[in-house]
């Protein structure tokens, strides 16, 4: 963990699992207040789990409020379509039947597709066994993950996409600098593809690197259900771009939230759930499997292409007893290769690492967070028993090259010019990352009228508190800030008050915000305009004093950027990126190359945050 290059602050290695802060900041700042609130909120939230009827009898106002926030009801429901009559607070009509569905297949490689080819990609429901229960999921071409599409840099292909789901969808080609109309974002670049309809995408591949494609329509549900796959753009010529390796293994790191009945936890047809912290899974998946394993031969060097396809979970990936050589990120190679013990990454980020398996055995693929280690899968290293051992020892130079750390001089020189010009320049824009939760604002807490109105989820519980208790909370002790040391939320603690609050949050009571620091405008109202060919320095400030400070992986469509610095520390190893993790409290400066005309979404890639926490960058073509 300690070797991770720039995104993670040095303190990261020392912290424990994050506690979610859902209280108003003035209360957060006071431990006594926190204690009192905990005593009240936890039992009330527990009552909520018993069902809305009991809750509504205790809090009559709850019913009316909950009708607005109906999806929170499903936090307590299991999925059972036959009992739809029980649905009182929302229309949960998502099809969960598995009858007649084909079983999901494993991801196939579509190898090095020639320029101009048209590929058929279909989204359709599939049956897949997760943890012993066969459930209804979605797949591209019947596969989870979808097919690995390998292409050559500089080529372009067409994808004739057909929607055979029972819901509308669209495919976003994440990280590719495609023409705007092919970006796959309903409401910004295209109309959603309705069930039974098709859409022809043209994909350009100007940049090498590992990319991915995924649904951009109710992605909280559709990506969770399996609509994701990789695209590997291989460099124009095999000019020793990466190092010689014996094989390449693409890995999607993911999780899935399974209910007690074995099916996936409920979705609401019209609204995101878990809008506060995002939908954490309770089962880890590697390439869609709970028990993923693969074989390599002793002496082999393997290049891993890693993608985090989880809705909100970050990963700290390592291989038991092996170091990794970090060679590439989202958009290709790093300036400098480096050995690392693990790679930390957030949803939608990609990393390329190479590993030498120099001895036989079985080694675990691990996700390690403070106080906990998850086993994601295993790699079996088969011993070399003969002199003619194929790709293993002595047959090639892979293992020889493995110990050499390359510097990519050309890339470094290109970056250096930009870096020098912009590192200390004043940012063109500053976006502050914050949140608004109904009934949870500082102002509301200080006015009884505010407490009694505009409440959606939390205040029905809190308004019944004795006001003298609230006054006893000493709300303005700014100096006693409740600061936990960790900058990211790694996990959701099952049964905790935080988890309950997360399960009650929806896109109606929780609104994540990108706020333009200069104008105060928010999300889609911001409307940044740039011209093709410009570079823009954008500062991302993740406000530690928001009502719920947490990390956000910020993604920009159709463009790429360099991370210049974090918290004033210059980045000493650059790579082109399209997602950057902004830990809680951090300030990150990026340099955006505005080189692709169109309207491009910029949003948090926690899929439950993206509903609100999204703005559109307009890049004007000079020719127009």
If the CB atoms of residues 231 and 611 are measured against Cu ion, the closer one turns out to be 611
Q: Sheet with 292-297: list strands edge to edge.
A: 292-297, 372-382, 361-369, 315-319, 343-345
> Is 550 in contact with 595 (CB distance < 8 Å)?
no
The window from 243-251, 419-427, 495-503, 604-612 that contacts Cu ion (CB under 5 A) reads: 604-612
Measured CA angle at 61 (ends 59, 66), to 5 deg: 100
What CA–CA distances, in Å, run from 405 to 333, 564, 613?
13, 23, 39
Size of the site for Cu ion (CB under 5 A): 4
The window from 29-37, 402-410, 419-427, 547-555 that contacts Cu ion (CB under 5 A) reads: 547-555
Q: Which residues contact 58 (CB under 8 A, 6 or more apart)?
A: 47
Which stretches of 198-298 are DSSP H helices? Answer: 219-222
- Residue 148 interacting with Cu ion (CB under 5 A): no
The window from 293-301, 499-507, 545-553, 558-566 that contacts Cu ion (CB under 5 A) reads: 545-553
Q: Smallest gap, in angstroms, from Cβ of residue 551 to Cu ion?
A: 7
Q: Sheet with 209-215: list strands edge to edge.
A: 109-110, 148-152, 228-234, 209-215, 171-174
Q: Smallest gap, in angstroms, from Cβ of residue 490 to Cu ion?
A: 15
- Residue 604 interacting with Cu ion (CB under 5 A): yes
Q: Which residues contact 304 (CB under 8 A, 6 or more apart)?
A: 248, 249, 250, 251, 324, 352, 353, 354, 355
- Residue 121 interacting with Cu ion (CB under 5 A): no
Q: Smallest gap, in angstroms, from Cβ of residue 546 to Cu ion?
A: 11
Question: Residue 64: phi, psi to the nearest 5?
Answer: -60, -40
The window from 352-360, 478-486, 550-558, 562-570 that contacts Cu ion (CB under 5 A) reads: 550-558
Q: Smallest gap, in angstroms, from Cβ of residue 195 to Cu ion?
A: 30
If the CB atoms of residues 172 and 552 are measured against Cu ion, the closer one turns out to be 552
Q: Smallest gap, in angstroms, from Cβ of residue 312 to Cu ion?
A: 8
Q: Smallest gap, in angstroms, from Cβ of residue 479 to Cu ion?
A: 28
> Is 287 in contact with 225 (CB distance < 8 Å)?
no
Residue 232's SS3 state is strand
If the CB atoms of residues 219 and 335 are measured against Cu ion, the closer one turns out to be 219
If the CB atoms of residues 174 and 552 are measured against Cu ion, the closer one turns out to be 552
Q: Smallest gap, in angstroms, from Cβ of residue 159 to Cu ion?
A: 29
Q: Which residues contact 240 (CB under 8 A, 6 or more apart)?
A: none
If the CB atoms of residues 272 and 330 are measured against Cu ion, the closer one turns out to be 272
> How far is the C-alpha of 82 from the C-alpha of 101, rounded, in Å?
19
Classify burial at 166, counting beta carbons within 10 Å of its beta carbon; exposed 0-12, middle 13-18, buried 19 or more.
middle
Q: Smallest gap, in angstroms, from Cβ of residue 552 to Cu ion?
A: 3
The window from 99-107, 282-290, 395-403, 609-617 that contacts Cu ion (CB under 5 A) reads: 609-617
If the CB atoms of residues 511 and 609 are measured against Cu ion, the closer one turns out to be 609
Q: Smallest gap, in angstroms, from Cβ of residue 512 to Cu ion?
A: 5
If the CB atoms of residues 192 and 347 are measured against Cu ion, the closer one turns out to be 347
Q: Smallest gap, in angstroms, from Cβ of residue 398 to Cu ion?
A: 39
Task: Spell out, one character per residue from 560 to 599, where the chain touches Cu ion: x when CB under 5 A holds, - when not.
Answer: ----------------------------------------
Q: Smallest gap, in angstroms, from Cβ of residue 432 to Cu ion?
A: 13
Which helix H or strand E contains 352, and what residues bound it?
Answer: strand 350-356
Q: Smallest gap, in angstroms, from Cβ of residue 612 to Cu ion?
A: 10
Letter string b/e over residues 582-620, b meaning 16 or more CB atoms within 10 A of that residue's CB: bbbbbbbbbbbbbbbbbbbbbbbbbbbbbbbbbbbbebe
If the CB atoms of residues 254 and 384 are measured against Cu ion, the closer one turns out to be 254
If the CB atoms of residues 415 and 609 are measured against Cu ion, the closer one turns out to be 609
Q: Smallest gap, in angstroms, from Cβ of residue 592 to Cu ion?
A: 19
If the CB atoms of residues 463 and 552 are measured against Cu ion, the closer one turns out to be 552
**In the complex, which residue's CB is closest to Cu ion?**
604
If the CB atoms of residues 277 and 592 are measured against Cu ion, the closer one turns out to be 277
- Residue 609 interacting with Cu ion (CB under 5 A): yes
Residue 388, both tokens: 């003619």
Which residues ranging from 477 to 536 are in contact with Cu ion (CB under 5 A)?
Answer: none
The window from 84-92, 220-228, 411-419, 608-616 that contacts Cu ion (CB under 5 A) reads: 608-616
> Is 184 in contact with 170 (CB distance < 8 Å)?
yes
Task: Spell out, one character per residue from 192 to 231, where the chain touches Cu ion: x when CB under 5 A holds, - when not.
Answer: ----------------------------------------
- How many Cβ atoms sit within 10 Å of the Cβ of residue 572? 11
What CA–CA distances, in Å, run from 130 to 137, 250, 311?
10, 20, 17
If the CB atoms of residues 216 and 336 are measured against Cu ion, the closer one turns out to be 216
If the CB atoms of residues 145 and 549 are measured against Cu ion, the closer one turns out to be 549
- Residue 606 interacting with Cu ion (CB under 5 A): yes
> Is 232 in contact with 390 (CB distance < 8 Å)?
no
> How far is the C-alpha of 613 from the C-alpha of 619, rounded, in Å?
20
Q: Smallest gap, in angstroms, from Cβ of residue 517 to Cu ion?
A: 18
Q: Smallest gap, in angstroms, from Cβ of residue 344 to Cu ion?
A: 17
Which residues ranging from 299 to 318 are in contact with Cu ion (CB under 5 A)?
Answer: none
- Residue 336 interacting with Cu ion (CB under 5 A): no
Q: Which residues contact 177 (CB under 8 A, 6 or more apart)?
A: 204, 206, 207, 558, 559, 560, 595, 596
DSSP-derived secondary structure for 557-597:
TT-EEEEEEETTEEPSS---BSEEEE-TT-EEEEEEEE-S-
- Residue 279 interacting with Cu ion (CB under 5 A): no
Q: Smallest gap, in angstroms, from Cβ of residue 22 to Cu ion?
A: 15
- Residue 381 interacting with Cu ion (CB under 5 A): no
Classify burial at 570, counting beta carbons within 10 Å of its beta carbon; exposed 0-12, middle 13-18, buried 19 or more.
middle
If the CB atoms of residues 336 and 552 are measured against Cu ion, the closer one turns out to be 552
Side-chain half-sphere of 548: how many Cα atoms within 13 Å? Answer: 24
Q: Which residues pair with 219 in a beta bridge?
A: none
> How far is the C-alpha of 423 from the C-alpha of 443, rounded, in Å?
38
The window from 2-10, 363-371, 485-493, 606-614 that contacts Cu ion (CB under 5 A) reads: 606-614
> Is 37 in contact with 23 (CB distance < 8 Å)?
yes
- Residue 552 interacting with Cu ion (CB under 5 A): yes
> How far is the C-alpha of 278 from the C-alpha of 310, rounded, in Å?
10
If the CB atoms of residues 513 and 530 are measured against Cu ion, the closer one turns out to be 513
Provide the binding-site residues for Cu ion, judged by CB under 5 A. Answer: 552, 604, 606, 609
């Amino acid at each position: 963990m300690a070797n991770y290059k720039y995104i993670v602050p040095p303190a990261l290695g020392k912290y424990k699992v994050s506690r979610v802060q859902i209280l108003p900041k003035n209360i957060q700042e006071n431990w006594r207040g926190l204690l009192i609130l905990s005593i009240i909120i936890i039992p009330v939230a527990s009552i909520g789990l018993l069902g809305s009827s009991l809750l509504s009898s205790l809090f009559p106002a709850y019913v009316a409020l909950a009708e607005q926030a109906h999806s929170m009801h499903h936090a307590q429901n299991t999925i059972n379509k036959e009992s739809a009559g029980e649905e009182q607070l929302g229309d949960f009509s998502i099809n969960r039947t598995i009858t007649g569905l084909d079983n999901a297949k494993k991801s196939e490689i579509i190898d090095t597709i020639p320029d101009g080819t048209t590929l058929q990609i279909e989204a359709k429901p599939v049956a897949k066994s997760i943890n012993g229960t066969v459930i209804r999921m979605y797949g591209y071409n019947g596969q989870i993950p979808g097919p690995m599409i390998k292409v050559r840099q500089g080529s372009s292909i067409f994808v004739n996409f057909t929607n055979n789901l029972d819901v509308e969808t669209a495919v976003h080609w994440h990280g590719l600098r495609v023409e705007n109309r092919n970006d796959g974002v309903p409401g910004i670049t295209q109309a959603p593809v309705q069930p039974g309809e098709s859409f022809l995408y043209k994909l350009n591949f100007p940049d090498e690197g590992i990319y991915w494609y995924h649904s951009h329509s109710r992605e909280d549900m559709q990506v969770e259900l399996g609509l994701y796959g990789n695209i590997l753009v291989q460099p124009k010529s095999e000019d020793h771009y990466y190092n010689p390796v014996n094989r390449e293994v693409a890995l999607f790191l993911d999780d899935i939230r399974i209910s007690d009945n074995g099916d996936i936890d409920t979705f609401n047809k019209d609204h995101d759930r878990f809008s506060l912290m995002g939908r954490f899974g309770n089962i880890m998946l590697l390439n869609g499997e709970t028990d993923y394993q693969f074989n390599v031969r002793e002496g082999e060097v393997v290049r891993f292409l890693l993608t985090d396809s989880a809705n909100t979970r970050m990963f700290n990936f390592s291989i038991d007893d092996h170091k990794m050589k970090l060679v590439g990120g989202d958009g290709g190679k790093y300036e400098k290769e480096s050995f690392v013990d693990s790679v930390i990454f957030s949803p939608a980020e990609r990393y390329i690492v190479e590993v030498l398996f120099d001895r036989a055995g079985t080694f675990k693929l691990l996700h390690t967070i403070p106080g906990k280690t998850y086993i994601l899968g295993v790699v079996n290293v088969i011993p070399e028993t003969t002199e003619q051992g194929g790709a293993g020892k002595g047959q090639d130079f892979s293992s020889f090259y493995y110990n050499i750390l390359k510097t990519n001089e050309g890339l470094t020189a290109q970056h250096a010019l930009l870096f020098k010009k912009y590192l200390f320049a004043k940012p063109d824009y500053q976006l502050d990352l914050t949140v608004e939760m109904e009934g949870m604002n500082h102002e509301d807490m200080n006015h009884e009228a505010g407490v009694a109105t505009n409440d959606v989820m939390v205040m029905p519980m809190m308004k019944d508190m004795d006001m003298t208790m609230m006054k006893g909370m000493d709300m303005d002790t700014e100096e006693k800030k409740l600061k936990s040391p960790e900058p990211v939320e790694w996990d959701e603690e099952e049964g905790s008050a935080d988890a309950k609050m997360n399960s009650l949050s929806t896109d109606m009571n929780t609104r994540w915000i990108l706020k333009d620091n200069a104008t105060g405008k928010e999300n889609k109202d911001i409307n940044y305009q740039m011209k093709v060919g410009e570079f823009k320095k954008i500062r991302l400030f993740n406000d530690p004093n928001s009502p719920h400070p947490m990390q956000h992986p910020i993604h920009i469509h159709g463009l790429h950027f360099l991370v210049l610095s974090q918290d004033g520390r210059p980045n000493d190893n650059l790579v082109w990126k399209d997602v950057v993790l902004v830990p809680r409290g951090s300030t990150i400066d990026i340099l955006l190359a505005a080189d692709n005309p169109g309207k491009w979404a910029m949003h948090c890639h926690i899929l439950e945050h993206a509903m609100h926490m999204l703005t559109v960058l307009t890049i004007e073509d000079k020719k127009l």
